[in-house]
Structure 1
Amino acid sequence: MADHGTSIGRRGDAAEDARVRAAAVRLFAELGYDMVSTQMIADAAGVDQSTVADRHGGKRALYVTSMNWAAQQWQDQVQSMRGDYTPDVGGLIRFVDRYLEYCREHPELPRLLVHRWFSDARDVAGINEEIIVPRVREAVEVVRSALGPDADPEAALWTLGWSIYGYLQSGYLDESGERRTPDDPQTLRRFRHHLRWLIHKMAATT
């Protein structure tokens, strides 16, 4: 895809670049590509629509930039966690715990990926193949090293990812039907326990 290397703000100043990029990431994360307009990005960044289009490449280029940013954040986090990683159940639990914390602190990352998985931005081709998949491969290898011989590493990674991203979107419904938010301490402890149980099952060798 030719525009993956598009640089936003080529003629804008650094502060403007940062505002436009942050506005685009936030809007795409909250609403998805299909629901966002160039004018919405401009309004959120405090610039004219023509500035977004002429200096920053418009909505499409900013979406590619946002997905590149999300993929790079994912890759950087995976690499940072590999320093003390051990290829066993304990290592994978620590790996997943730290990734959960990172996503809680940077909710725009899982939200961007969730929108993409729900077929957002269908007309922007090549995002999965050229941006997301190369970064996923490294995470798959980390997970593979801790799994039992019958486990599917890619399915395991996506199961953990879907669980984390889904939880961070809505939390849990309790037995009375009341929604418990992802930041509720008791709910978060319950979810962590479930993730650890799930990892033990994935890593079982018998």
Structure 2
Amino acid sequence: MTARAYDPWKRLFDVVAATIALVVLSPVMGIVAILVAMRLGRPVVFTQRRPGLRGRIFVLRKFRSMRNADEARGLITDEQRLTRFGQILRSTSLDELPSLWNVLKGDMSVVGPRPLLVEYLPRYTPEQARRHEVRPGITGLAQASGRNALSWEEKFALDVDYVDNRSLILDVRVILATVRAVFAREGIAAEGHATIQKFGGSNV
């Protein structure tokens, strides 16, 4: 089966997987929502515009993991705003659970290149921009191969590799590798950063 021929089956897999996950994990999501409200305040769900399939903009949903920016309190950078509780949410990927709604709606897939910032769109090379030929994913080949410990160029190369070789077998491998990486707490942040340094463009 070619990569393109797999797409209808991939969408079916996404709908079934997201539906089951939302039902099974609803108690976990409820507990996390309560803890976020208590520890970080409201809104509980963080929303942000991100580019998806063919660069179309959608609203990404995640559990919030940072305190509000507050210059008076010195809460400006990600490092300053990210609490220990927020680090736990990110390292366990519990902050990603609301994104299952994005999968169900068709904005995202379970597996695919991660949806990045809208401001990055003009900074991609034509080859890197191919990452938008498929729906973005909750997890992806880059996340299963090192998460934020990889350079931007390494991550984009893996994204394009996924676009060219997507299949059910690859999706299952990515999901299993992601679970292993989450339990091992691997690649949570880039060295010297709370998450990862912003992408400023490739020197090519």
Determine if the TM-score, normalized by the shorter chain, exceeds 0.5.
no
Which structure has the highest strand share of the two?
2
TM-score by length of 1: 0.29
Which structure has the highest helix share of the two?
1
State the structure with more CA Rg: 1
